[in-house]
Amino acid sequence: MKISIPILNLKYKDDLYRLILSLFVLGIIAIFFVSVLVIAAYSYPAVIRYGAPFLWVKTWNPPMEIFGALTFIAGTLFVTFLALIFSVPLALGIGVFLQEYCPFFLRSFLTVIIEMLAGIPSVVFGVWGVLTIVPWLRESVEPFFNAYFSGIPFLKVEENIGYGILAASIVVAFMILPIIASITKDSLSAVPDLAKDGALAMGATRLDVIKNVSLPYALSGIYGGIVLGFGRAVGETIAVVLLIGNQAIVPKSLFSVGYTISSVLANTFTFAVISPIYASAEVELALILLVISLLVNIIGRNILNSVIGGRLSRSQFGGG
């Protein structure tokens, strides 16, 4: 004897499932817009009071209620781009090696190592930076640059202390390295063998295949990895707080101290709530951080779309 219960009806279950999934999706859209709205609402008083000059005024003086974000924006961009410059070439090399050259028995081992590296909490990276990178910069790198490159403005050692933009960038570079490397490897592994075999059959060398077939094919995936790395670097807080020197100036040199948006928020936001306009100015900093990451995502995507002609939209990584 068979009992028919409506909820077990396959069609009905399917609809229910679809409904639940749709709610989840609505949830993520809501989270995005609510966060943006809240940040925008809280920063509104500062936006009104300080207007556009907030972006290019250098002074940040809470007791006198003079607020300009330039030093923090400059510090954030400095650290982020330096970290990308350090890590992207390295990460691409690691990704290509793992996928194309690595002996099979080593590959899974190295992959696990890289994934573990990506999982290390950032404060551990920060502590490691204070213990190793800072003394190394102070005792070896900075004296060297001071002796041989002191004439070049961007390489001038202003204070031989180890802390600063460079220390922060190096450690952030290590933090985003595994992200970009593992995504590069995954994107390369998604290149169809048929395309590679075809090129090899035409007499291409292994290097030719990597350069002309694999890398172009995997480009949007790699790009996705770089954007993820950018996202982590631009918002990285605690490791930067420990290393950058927390001084609100526009860095003039690789070895300057500086300040980033996320680190000034971490250092002072619990106190800033004491004054509504101070708090609002700090929330506006958070808004700027949000806008920077959104802009990089959108602009980056558009550039890539025009380079590779719309393939991005059809691909699996949202790129891939």
**Residues of this chain that bind another protein (CB under 8 A):** 41-42, 59-64, 66, 134-135, 138, 159-164, 241-242, 245-248, 257, 259, 263, 267-276, 279-280, 283
Report the nearest approach of another protein to the CB of residue 87 (Å). 25
Report the nearest approach of another protein to the CB of residue 122 (Å). 15
Report the nearest approach of another protein to the CB of residue 241 (Å). 6
Nearest to 100 by CA among 176, 193, 177, 173: 193
Nearest to 282 by CA among 46, 111, 99: 46
> Is 198 or 276 the residue whose CB approaches another protein more closely?
276
What DSSP string describes 238-299? HHHHHHS----S---STT-----HHHHHHHHHHHHTTSHHHHHHHHHHHHHHHHHHHHHHHH
> Is 163 or 223 the residue whose CB approaches another protein more closely?
163
> Is 189 or 247 the residue whose CB approaches another protein more closely?
247
> Is 114 or 283 the residue whose CB approaches another protein more closely?
283
> Is 164 or 320 the residue whose CB approaches another protein more closely?
164
What is the H or E stretch that residue 66 is in?
strand 66-67
Q: Cα–Cα distance between 250 and 258 in angstroms, integer? A: 7
Question: In this structure, how many other beta carbons lie within 10 angstroms of the beta carbon of residue 161?
Answer: 15
Which segments of the chain does DSSP mark as H helices, in order?
A: 10-50, 70-96, 104-118, 122-128, 134-136, 142-148, 165-189, 193-201, 206-209, 215-235, 238-243, 261-272, 276-308, 311-314
Report the nearest approach of another protein to the CB of residue 270 (Å). 4
Q: Do the beta carbons of residue 122 and residue 236 sit within 8 Å?
A: yes
Report the nearest approach of another protein to the CB of residue 199 (Å). 53
Tokens 């922060």, located at residue? 168
Report the nearest approach of another protein to the CB of residue 278 (Å). 9
Report the nearest approach of another protein to the CB of residue 261 (Å). 14
> Is 42 or 317 the residue whose CB approaches another protein more closely?
42
Task: Give me the phi and psi of 152, to 5 degrees please.
Answer: -85, 120
> Is 222 or 281 the residue whose CB approaches another protein more closely?
281
